[in-house]
Amino acid sequence: MSLEELHSIFSVFALPIFDLSSNILRRTSRMADWTECMNYGIHIAREAREVILHAFRIKKAVMLKSSPADLVTETDQRVERMLISAIKAKYPHHKFIGEESVAAGEKLILTDSPTWIIDPIDGTANFVHRFPFVAISIAFAVNKQTEFGIVYSCIEDKLYSAQRGRGAFCNDIPLATSGQEDITKCLLVTEIGAERDQLALATMTSNIHRLLEIPVHGIRAVGTAAVDMCLISTGGADAYYHIGMHCWDIAASALIVSEAGGVVIDTNGSEFDMMARRVIAASSMSVARRIAQAIQAFPCERDDDPRAHPQKAQIEHSTDSGNDVHKKAGGHRRL
């Protein structure tokens, strides 16, 4: 029905229609804006990839955050600044949650406002060692719900994307999960993560043992949560589980899995909460629930708990394995 027809109908009842017309236009505008935002996110991700590709081949200055396995480089920081600056210039009223910004002391607050959730380099340890699985992850949330997600596996040149209700794609090719419902026929993916305390290590190794005993076909670790989850969306793997990651690692890829026909839940079997730092992404609900029954979680402070991200700490310098390494006391709180 045209806007003119709406005017005609409402004029019969002498009702004001200007608010109705404005609301229709605003809703249409908002829908168009999210598509425009997504296209812009893809554009700047492609630009950021060029920075990562150049730095991938050269010696890097490395800093430590919460543990000897929690690394950050100047390129992580540069790419995040580049992405946020570009978005701010185009969408000055939007908000941001960025991994390196939070590590530097910014508060992690997810509101109902349009918010970009950014991991400039997911797989920093891979990046440092030139292990070729490194990704840019960009999610966009409104009313605390992810509206689109972009994961760019830079070295592979695979750009995964999804918009709510419109399917998932890799380099514009539609994606679909395997649909596997029998866990004994599944290939799983997980990550060891940066946690190195005894409880976390014992839980992670115990979970691997529990799943292999089911049995499953195998368990893999690529080194980037965002790419791991995208592998579920392609059907290349059947399920992914992880405890201890952060919202910027999985916000984009969780939507990509869902739009490819998969399911995403908490490791306790409840509804997925990106701030809870626990996730199972799977080809089917039956597989997801079987994993939830098998594994245990170690305690993690929520991402939106202010205690989880202390202020920026002092940095000391040292050298390690041919890379300049800077030890940071503090950073992300250890688990």
Q: Which residues are annotated as a binding site for Mg(2+)?
A: 99, 119, 121-122, 249
Catalytic position from the list 249, 250, 267, 303: 249
**What angle do the packed helices 74-90 and 18-56 form, to 10 degrees?**
160
**Residues paired with residue 149 on neighbouring β-strands, in sequence order:** 139, 162
Q: What is the dihedral angle through the alpha carbons of 285, 289, 290, 294, rounded to the nearest 10 degrees?
A: 150
Residue 138: active-site member: no
Residue 228: active-site member: no
Catalytic position from the list 44, 52, 118, 121: 121
Count CB atoms within 10 A of the CB of residue 242: 26
Instruction: Please list the alpha-helical segments (H only) found in 136-246.
Output: 198-212, 225-234
Residue 304: active-site member: no
CA distances from 83 to 8, 90, 136, 178 (A): 47, 11, 10, 33
Q: Are 237 and 231 in contact (CB under 8 A)?
A: yes
Residue 122: active-site member: yes
Catalytic position from the list 73, 124, 190, 224: 124
Catalytic position from the list 70, 76, 119, 195: 119
Q: Quick one: which H or E segment has residue 154?
A: none
Contacts of 26 (CB under 8 A, 6+ apart): none
**Residues paired with residue 71 on neighbouring β-strands, in sequence order:** 64
Catalytic position from the list 70, 99, 228, 238: 99
Tell which residue, 193, 137, 195, 184, has the closest CA to residue 162: 137
List active site positions: 99, 119, 121-122, 124, 249
